[in-house]
Each structure stands twice: as structure tokens, then as C-alpha cells.
Amino acid sequence: MQDHQSSTPRTSTPRRAPVVIIAGLAAIGLAIGGGVAWWNGRSAAPEANAPSSTAVSPSPQTAPAQQTVQIYWLKTNSDRIELAPAPVTVPTTGQPDATLKAAFETMLKGSPDAALTSTIPQNTRLLGLEAKQDGIHVNLSQEFTSGGGSTSMQGRLGQVIYTATAIDPNAKVWLSVEGKPLEVLGGEGLVINQPTSRSDFEQNFSL
């Protein structure tokens, strides 16, 4: 019997291994190429969440506006004592009350200049100050009336009147101690008109 299988030519089956390898290499190549493209894109474009270099910085705080007013000290001129104005810088608030309060607080701390002095007792406190239509109302603590003779009393009275009218020299001054109108000052009995003023001081007192 003839062997038909031996006479029939055998068709060889294609080898698939190289195809699989090639496909795998192609996939790897695509992946690498895509990764390079992605990396290049990331390098070229700025990050979306990165802060912009042109961001506006917060502006520095503006220093408060200031103004200069005169406070009054005493100084010796030859054989007499006289009132001496000295400039002081205080914040500008647009309110006369606040400006004059700042001037008074500075005066009550005492003079930083050895050539200028004050006869207002050290512990005197400003209890209140109001600028009203009828004048400047000043309220001082009880210490204002303590110690000193006639010259000392006149000097401190002049300091208060002139400093209270630093913004308006023609203004009237209503002077109180512990909330009560001050009518007589010191053991010498200096009579104080209510209201008083610069012109009133010049007419009735002499340092």
C-alpha cells in the first residue's frame, strides 16, 4: 500500500513568534515616543497652577498724615518769665478735639528742652477736652491747682489757655478742674473769668 502522506507535500506553518516580538517592540516604541512627546510638552508649557510672575504685590501701608501745632512752655528772658511756643507734630484726624488732646498730652509730659520749662504739676492729667461752638472746654485733674506761688499759677494758666487756642487764637476757653468750673486758682486767689481767652490773660495777668 502506498503511503499517501509521504507523497503529499507538507505545507509549513508560519512562525508566529517573530510577529509577536515585532508587535511588542512596536508597542514599546510607541510608548517611549509618546512619553518623550508628553515630557517635551510638559517642559515647554508652564504649569497651570504655578503663580504668575506678574502678580501684583500688596502696596505698603500709607503712613498717617500729620500736622504741626504749637504748645506753650515758659522760659526766662532777662529778669522775667514769658510764654514760649514750641512746635509739636501730631496725627491729622480732621477733628480739633483730637488734635488739641494730643497737644495737651505732650505738654503734660514735660519739656524735652532744658531751656523751656513748665509750672504745671507733673501728675496733672487731662480728663477731657471738647471743641464746641462756644469755645474749647478743658477739664484737668485736681493736681493742676496744687503747689506754687503767684508766678507759678499764672504761668500754668497761660500754658493751658494758649495751648487750648493753638488752632484758633481767638477761641474762648472754659477751664474746669474735676468737672467743676475753675473760678479761683491757688492761695493767691487768681480770679479766672469763664470763659477766658488770650486777650483776657494779657489784660489781667503778667508773668
Least confident of 94-103, 155-164, 174-183: 94-103
CA 136 from centre of chain: 27
Most confident of 6-15, 23-32, 65-74, 154-163: 154-163
Angle at 99 between CA 93 and CA 103, to 5 degrees: 145
Q: Measure the CA–CA gap between 192 and 138, rounded to whole angstroms.
A: 14
CB 66 within 8 A of CB 89: yes
Mean pLDDT value across residues 180-204: 93
pLDDT of 61 reads 65
CB 126 within 8 A of CB 109: no
pLDDT of 194 reads 96
pLDDT of 56 reads 53
Q: Measure the CA–CA gap between 97 and 133, rounded to whole angstroms.
A: 12
Q: What is the 3-state secondary structure (H, E, C) of the chain?
A: CCCHHHHCCCCCCCCCHHHHHHHHHHHHHHHHHHHHHHHHHHHHCCCCCCCCCCCCCCCCCCCCCEEEEEEEEEEEECCEEEEEEEEEEEECCCCHHHHHHHHHHHHHCCCCCCCCECCCCCCCCEEEEEEECCEEEEEECHHHHCCCCHHHHHHHHHHHHHHHCCCCCCCCEEEEECCEECCEECCCCEECCCCECHHHHHHHCCC
Which pLDDT tens digit goes with each residue over 162-186? 999 999 999 999 999 999 999 999 8
Of the chain, the percentage scoring pLDDT greater than 70 comes to: 69
Asked if pLDDT for residue 40 goes beyond 60, the answer is no
Cell representation of residue 86: 514750641
Asked if pLDDT for residue 99 goes beyond 80, the answer is yes
pLDDT band at 147 (very low <50, low <70, confident <90, very high): confident
Strands 173-177 and 135-140: parallel
Interacting residues of 174 by C-beta distance below 8 A, sequence separation 6+: 134, 135, 136, 137, 138, 181, 194, 195
Averaged pLDDT of the chain: 79
Which pLDDT tens digit goes with each residue over 47-73? 445 444 455 555 556 666 888 999 999
pLDDT of 26 reads 42
